[in-house]
C-alpha cells in the first residue's frame, strides 16, 4: 500500500462520534499560505491533473475548511445570503462519495466505490482525485437565486486555497444533476448547483 493511502486509512474511524466508514480529517491549518496578492496572481482554472496522486489528508482538510468551514462559532469562511447557510459540500473520490461535516471536521460516507464517472462529462473529471459537489437545501435557500451567488463565494475560496497550496482546480457547470442526485442519495428538496474538480496539476 502506498504511504499516502496508508496514512489516509489511519483517518478512517470507527469511533462513536463517526459512523463506521466515516473519515476524520486532520485539524485544518489556519496559518500560513501564500500572501493574498500572490495567490490572486496565481488563481486560474486547471483541467490536467496528476491522476496517480490522491489529495493528501491535510490538504483535503485545509481545502474544505477554506471552502466552507466554520471560522466563528456559527459562521463560515464564505458569506451566505441572509445567513441561510443552505449549501452542503459533497466530495467524490476514487474511494467513495461523502458529505463534508464542517462542524465535526469529517467526511460522512454516503456510498463506497468509485463514482467519478458520474461527477462530470468532461474526461478529466472522471480521473481527477477529487470532485466537490455543491448541493443546496431548497427549504433553507433564500429567494431570488441567491443560492447561486452563495455557491460562487465557496468556489472562489476553493480556487484561492488551491492557488496557494499548489493544487489545480476548475469549477464546472457541466454535470448531470440527476445522476449526481442518485449517487449522493439526495432528496427532492436538495439540488446540485455546481461542481468543482481538484487535483495536483499534471507535470
Q: Using CB under 6 A as the criterion, which residues of the chain lie in contact with ligand FMN when the complex forms?
A: 44-45, 47, 122, 170-174
CB of 107 or CB of 128, closer to ligand FMN: 128
Shortest Cβ 125–ligand FMN spacing (Å): 8
Q: To 10 degrees, the CA torsion angle through 119, 106, 58, 173?
A: 20
Nearer to ligand FMN, 4 or 44 (CB): 44
Least distance (Å) from ligand FMN to the CB of residue 14? 38
Nearer to ligand FMN, 27 or 45 (CB): 45
In the complex, minimum distance from the CB of residue 74 to ligand FMN, in angstroms, rounded to a whole number: 28
Q: How far is the CB of 91 from ligand FMN (least distance, A)?
A: 18
3-state secondary structure the chain: CCHHHHHHHHCECCCCCCCCCCEECCCCCCCCCCCHHHHHHHCCCCCCECCCCCCCHHHHHHHHHHHHCECCCCCECCCCHHHCCCEEEEEECCCEEEEEECCCCEEEEEEECCCHHHCCCCHHHHHCCEEEEEEEECCCCCCCCHHHHHHHHHHHHHHHHHHHHCCEEEEECCCCHHHHHHHCCCCCCEEEEEEEEEECECC
Smallest distance, Å, CB 16 to ligand FMN?
40
The smaller minimum CB distance to ligand FMN, of residues 25 and 198, is found at 198
Amino acid at each position: 500500500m502506498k504511504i499516502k493511502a496508508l496514512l489516509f486509512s489511519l483517518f478512517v474511524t470507527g469511533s462513536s462520534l463517526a459512523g463506521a466508514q466515516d473519515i476524520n480529517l486532520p485539524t485544518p491549518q489556519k496559518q500560513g499560505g501564500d500572501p493574498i496578492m500572490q495567490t490572486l496572481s496565481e488563481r486560474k482554472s486547471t483541467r490536467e491533473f496528476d491522476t496517480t496522486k490522491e489529495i493528501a489528508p491535510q490538504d483535503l482538510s485545509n481545502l474544505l475548511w477554506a471552502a466552507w468551514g466554520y471560522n466563528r462559532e456559527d459562521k463560515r469562511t464564505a458569506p451566505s445570503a441572509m445567513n441561510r447557510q443552505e449549501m452542503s459540500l459533497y466530495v467524490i473520490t476514487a474511494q467513495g462519495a461523502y458529505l463534508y461535516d464542517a462542524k465535526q471536521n469529517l467526511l460522512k460516507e454516503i456510498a463506497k466505490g468509485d463514482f467519478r464517472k458520474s461527477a462530470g462529462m468532461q474526461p478529466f473529471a472522471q480521473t481527477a482525485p477529487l470532485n466537490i459537489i455543491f448541493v443546496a437545501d431548497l427549504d433553507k435557500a433564500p429567494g431570488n437565486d441567491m443560492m447561486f451567488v452563495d455557491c460562487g463565494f465557496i468556489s472562489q475560496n476553493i480556487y484561492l486555497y488551491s492557488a496557494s497550496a499548489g493544487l489545480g482546480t476548475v469549477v464546472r457547470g457541466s454535470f448531470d444533476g440527476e445522476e449526481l442526485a442518485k449517487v449522493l442519495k439526495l432528496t427532492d428538496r436538495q439540488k446540485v448547483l455546481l461542481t468543482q474538480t481538484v487535483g495536483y496539476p499534471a507535470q
